[in-house]
Structure 1
Amino acid sequence: MTTRRRATFPATLAATLLPMLTLLAGCDGRVAPQANAANTPSAQGAAGVTATTAAANAALAKALPLDDQQDFEDARRGLIARPEGKILAADGGVLIDFDAFKFVEGKAPPTVNPSLWRHAQLNAQIGLFKVTDGIYQLRGFDIGNMTLVEGKTGWIVIDALTCTETAAAALAFARQHLGNKPVTALVFSHSHIDHFGGALGVVSPQDAAARKVPVIASAGFMEEATSENVMVGTAMGRRSFYQFGKDLERSPKGLVDTGLGKNVGYGTFGILEPTRLITQPTEEVVLDGVRFVFHNVPGAEAPAEMTMSIPDRKAYGGAENLAQTMHNLLPVRGAKVRDALRWADYMQDAIDQLDGAEVYFGQHNWPIWGNRRIVEFISKHRDVYQYTHDQTVRLINAGLTPREIAEQIRLPASLQSTFGARGYYGDLRHNVKAVYQSYLGAYDGNPANLDPLPPQESARRYVALAGGADNAIRTAQAAFDKGEYRWAAELLNHVVFADSGNQAARELLARTYDQLGYAAEAATWRNSYLTAAAELRNGPPKKGVDRSGFANMLMHTPVERFLEAMAAGLDGPAAEGKNLKVNLVFSDTHESYQLWIENAVLHHRQAAPASDANATLTLTKPIFVKMMAGTAGVKDTLLSDQLSIQGSRIDLVRFFTLIDKAPGTFAIVTR
């Protein structure tokens, strides 16, 4: 459980093919020592807390009913067993450490927003839980929850977590305590990878086929699940390190939570194709003797998503349209803007669909019991999205810009006082800008912003206007000393962009981001600020998202998605004036494509090999997928009888040289 125009998987294809063709032609996260003092640097160099930040957090603690125990009772209710130890990857790396967040207890330290600290304590209630008769949940094995519904002969699994390793560990833990029953159905609530990526840890394709295990998902699931991130996956993956704090130490000065759960299992990802799609607004399906009523809710939290009722158990599953936090209309890692108005409408529908349910369970966070409380919970979420939408539109029509609207809008007291609707994962200010963008785009209407200077050039001129870097830093230091961290960050960002080697500016900006992170209520904002601070001190990561774990999932991705991403990765200026044509032939699937460059644009079409092509590359889809994931080695290429080249190998080299090779380690807070 990201935005330059760069190809993700095609870059690895070029990186894999080029050495071969030339020859033929002649976060994971670290656990810090416990008990970091608030006024001393952390293991990653995070600064101590200032009096201003500590005072702001203390004031918020007094303003909120942090001692309310209802959520803690809900989060602990039904605990059967708590896991210990670690979930490891095949190479021995740690994916999940069940002890990593044991420091999240007691009173909030001054380096963590007290509201976020409370939420982090609630998400730290991990283990196997009984939700109600015949329904269980595994929480804390990944960022999401695995829900088990007891059928007549086995387990109906709702959502398979992010990766094979975490899903297998969760299911094994459940069987240890509930009995070794088979999986008799698998349900995917929606098309985000933290809900299906562990499918092969739940049931193997061979077992699913042999036993005819139903795999249920909503219409459009496979298209969305396999195509998401292919086009801008490199950038989105890079920015996800910020959102989830992947490489932050686990400490009061680092990662304490993600908002939706403790952290993400970055392991081996897979998928199973659905055997049945829910295509109607509401459909009833009986799985292993249990009656489910599925409700299609596409285009809000995910492009393909469905909620569900289990009437005979008096239970309602909200998928991820509902969580114990305000959600994102636009994640800080980047995505397509989500529809706030549609989301609010789905919440009203959910109230009408409860059908007397006495327990709500979500695919993140903890459940709620009692019909009255469930209706109140859904109503508050409905009104958060409706209010955000309507007030943003009102101020749009009054002529305000996104930043002005974000500065003005505050939720009414009745919504602010509800912990489950506060912004631990989403944030009201960011959501306001998403609503603006969905209607009017990123441009705010001021012609000064039609064609602004690029950041580095603008930064150099601002620094000169400020009287030089030293003067700008002195001004920023004065702002920092007065607790004006947003202004200090804006000033210092200019200095660092003008001269990324200015260590004084980098360190003061890092300290500024530390304070902004310590005060942030949204886990995603805290993680972004603190990751930025760590990178200012230590540099960007040496390695981007490891695509080798995606191989099983990519086998289900249509070839056209990769070719579209290749086109988006073509270096247009370098391709100008070049006219090259390549045939791509898949010997196992009997598909063939023509790829050609014309007017510095890479085109493709499914067609028989062209006789006038410069070269023909024939290979199997598994080899192609390995190339996409960057895992193809010499045996897969030079020594494989599943790959051959006809025509000009030199032209093939020239062709793939024009595809950008983006490693996904680009700088974000420096240039």
Structure 2
Amino acid sequence: MARQWQCIGVQRKPPTAVIEAAHRAHALPFDDDTDFHNADRGFIAALSPCVIKAADGRVVWDNDAYSFLGGAAPTSVHPSLWRQSTLAAKQGLYEVVPGIYQVRGLDISNVTLVETDTGIIVIDPLVSTEVAAAALALYRTHRGGDRPVVAVIYTHSHVDHFGGVLGVTSQADVDDGAVAVLAPDGFVEHAVQENVYAGPAMTRRATYMYGSMLPRGPRDQVGCGLGQAPSTGEVAIIVPTIDIRETGETHTIDGVEIEFQMAPGTEAPAEMHFYFPRFRALCMAENATHNLHNLLTLRGALVRDPHAWSGYLTEAIDTFADRADVVFASHHWPTWGRDSIVEFLSLQRDMYAYLHDQTLRLLNQGYTGIEIAEMFRMPPALERAWHTHGYYGSVSHNVKAVYQRYMGWFDGNPARLWPHPPEALAPRYVEAIGGIDRVVGLAQSAFDSGDFRWAATLLDHAIFTDSAHEGARTLYADTLEQLAYGAENATWRNFFLSGATELRGGNFGTAAQVASPTMLSQLTPEQIFDSLAIRVDGPRSWDLDLAIDLAFADLATNYRLTLRNGVLVYRKVAADPATASVTVQLDSKFRLLSAAMGDFSSPGLQISGNQAALQALLGVLDQPDPSFDIVTP
């Protein structure tokens, strides 16, 4: 699957005096330059130019676009975020310790290369094939020569940690046993589910979250806090050959021992940490990075468990800290020295534990998620540490996530149990206030006074009443820009700027889906059926009553699919042509993907019985909308 790196430019307004004054008022420890020393430590070589293209000439990564970063922060960027973005944009090959190397700044994530007796282990091969190949080539040019890849480790089930695997190895080498692929138990299930089931909606929102369609610059996208942005090349997956199931499990790869710690249900549903005794080095996957992470990512996902997260960090400290000289992760830069490692991991642990415990304390006093987020403050020791700042996650939306995890979407107020949806609510508010021009006038007054949050609320109602109202669109875009300039959180900034861009220039669409053919090829038949079931248009299929037998020769298995009451149900049963509307025989599960797309001419696919029944099922499958509107109705 290919995605285009493209940017939509608009003319931005300058920051207001209110934003400039707010930036001057921040008391931040800029004299602490430890992170800059650590981010530069072990530097070997940069990729120059740091522009990576696909075979057809498309740019899939451009780190040089961030060359504006550095020096004093402009007034259009929160000074803390400017510092973080400057650090995250550093790129090149770095030595972590002799024998362990990282390539940073060639994607949103890092790829780590561990030298074994005769080859290398690749940890987390980035988002896409092209950038992973470039990273491996950079390593080999300056360090590794022709050392073969002997293993790949996926730390967890997010695409920026496995999608570039074909840039460092091949399916053939894995099939031949030349390369082992290690991953936490449940990896494939969760990797596929996240990218297929809700993939279209997540990808559209991720376009806002990462600022994927925005120009790079001081008034536009400056990164996403965790890195710059995901690369946009070919995404693939190779199924693991070794599933890591237990804490304390060890494996030796070409002479290098690895000790694993399971950490499921943390930053990802399937995640693990691991330790290299030979190098006294600890990999913390994505559970201890140089920012507050998301408990509920703005692109959408299941709410994560900060209680479990903090518990696994405690276990990592107790298990590995006395033996580790360095801790590194799949984003950002390492931390060296036992005392610094313990302090870093302890503050990361305390951050997630405090969010969890204090949110529960306050919700049990009757406060709602929004109220808790507004009053919540981290302890001074956590506020002073740069790596606990909310560049990617935020205290505000993480507190709301904890509330949602325990209490759900409803805050208990009966007036909010059955509200009107936005397109019905907005005209009522506008009418009550005195008409759309009156609303825009009040929003202008709020804007002028620096109350951009209230201005945005008023203008949201105006746009959902009349999305073509030019005055409302312009002022709304101006307002979102000011909110962006004031945000320490990069993903908030990107959401605000993406909304402003679409208000000024229209819907800019989204990147292609992460659910590439190679991802889809890893779906089990049950996962394919589930993905079909969530595409059934219920009202259009209320009156259909179908039974379809699917026989897979490669699996020696038959499934009965029934569609009734708008619900697609599947079971493993013996074939029964007498009761089936239609029988489909497939030589492999891959033919099912072809049939699901309406291609019945594929070799290895035989249909007997009422083919119209199969057509009827396909006829009620919805196509997802990958570019639905967000900031407008």
Counterpart residue number, 1:89: 54
Counterpart residue number, 1:450: 417
Counterpart residue number, 1:155: 120
Q: Does 1:415 align with 2:377?
A: no
Q: CA deviation at 1:315?
A: 1.1
Distance 1:536 1:624 in 2: 41
Distance 1:650 1:285 in 2: 53
CA contact (8 A) 1:238 1:545 kept: no
Q: CA deviation at 1:29?
A: 4.0
CA contact (8 A) 1:359 1:369 kept: yes
Counterpart residue number, 2:153: 187
Q: CA deviation at 1:639?
A: 5.0
Q: Does 1:540 align with 2:507?
A: yes
1:593 to 559, 582, 585: 559
Counterpart residue number, 2:408: 441
Q: CA deviation at 1:92?
A: 2.2
Distance 2:11 2:556 in 1: 55
Q: CA deviation at 1:626?
A: 5.8
Q: Does 1:670 align with 2:632?
A: yes
Counterpart residue number, 2:257: 291
Distance 1:166 1:584 in 2: 40
C-alpha change, 1:584 and 1:535, in structure 2 (3 Å) is farther
Distance 1:575 1:173 in 2: 54
Counterpart residue number, 2:108: 143
Deviations 1:126-173 (A, max 9, x none): 100001111100101111111111110011111111111111111111
Distance 2:509 2:337 in 1: 49
Distance 1:565 1:254 in 2: 36
Counterpart residue number, 2:30: 66
CA contact (8 A) 1:517 1:526 kept: yes
C-alpha change, 1:512 and 1:373, in structure 2 (3 Å) is same
Q: Does 1:330 align with 2:290?
A: no
Provide structure 2 residue ranges, at least 5 long, that are not aligned to the other structure. none
Which amino acid counterpart does residue 622 of structure 1 have in structure 2? F
The 5 Å alignment of 1:185-264 reads 185-264=151-230
Q: CA deviation at 1:312?
A: 2.4
The 5 Å alignment of 1:296-311 reads 296-311=262-277
Q: TM-score w.r.t. structure 1 length?
A: 0.90
Distance 1:566 1:638 in 2: 17
Q: CA deviation at 1:245?
A: 0.9
Counterpart residue number, 2:244: 278
Question: Which moves more between the two structures, 469-478 or 77-86?
Answer: 77-86
Q: Does 1:520 align with 2:487?
A: yes
Distance 1:328 1:618 in 2: 45
3-state secondary structure, aligned to 1:58? helix
Q: CA deviation at 1:608?
A: 4.0
The 5 Å alignment of 1:334-483 reads 334-353=300-319, 354-483=321-450
Distance 1:195 1:544 in 2: 19
Deviations 1:459-493 (A, max 9, x none): 11001011000000000000001110000001100
Which structure would you say has the larger RCO, counting Cα contacts within 8 Å and 6 or more residues apart? 1
3-state secondary structure, aligned to 2:225? coil
Q: CA deviation at 1:258?
A: 1.3
Q: CA deviation at 1:589?
A: 4.1
Count of paired positions: 627
Which amino acid counterpart does residue 442 of structure 1 have in structure 2? W
3-state secondary structure, aligned to 2:197? coil
Distance 1:331 1:400 in 2: 23
Distance 1:525 1:515 in 2: 12
Counterpart residue number, 1:582: 548
C-alpha change, 1:292 and 1:46, in structure 2 (3 Å) is same
Give the superposed CA RMSD.
Answer: 1.9
Provide structure 1 residue ranges, at least 5 long, that are not aligned to the other structure. 1-8, 10-26, 33-42
Distance 1:344 1:284 in 2: 23
Counterpart residue number, 1:487: 454
CA contact (8 A) 2:582 2:614 kept: yes
Counterpart residue number, 2:608: 646
Counterpart residue number, 1:503: 470
Report % sequence identity.
45
Counterpart residue number, 2:131: 166
CA contact (8 A) 2:7 2:213 kept: no
C-alpha change, 1:512 and 1:627, in structure 2 (3 Å) is farther
CA contact (8 A) 2:154 2:161 kept: yes
Question: Which moves more between the two structures, 197-206 or 432-441?
Answer: 197-206
Q: CA deviation at 1:385?
A: 0.7
CA contact (8 A) 1:31 1:100 kept: no
CA contact (8 A) 1:156 1:288 kept: no
Distance 1:263 1:236 in 2: 15
3-state secondary structure, aligned to 2:195? coil
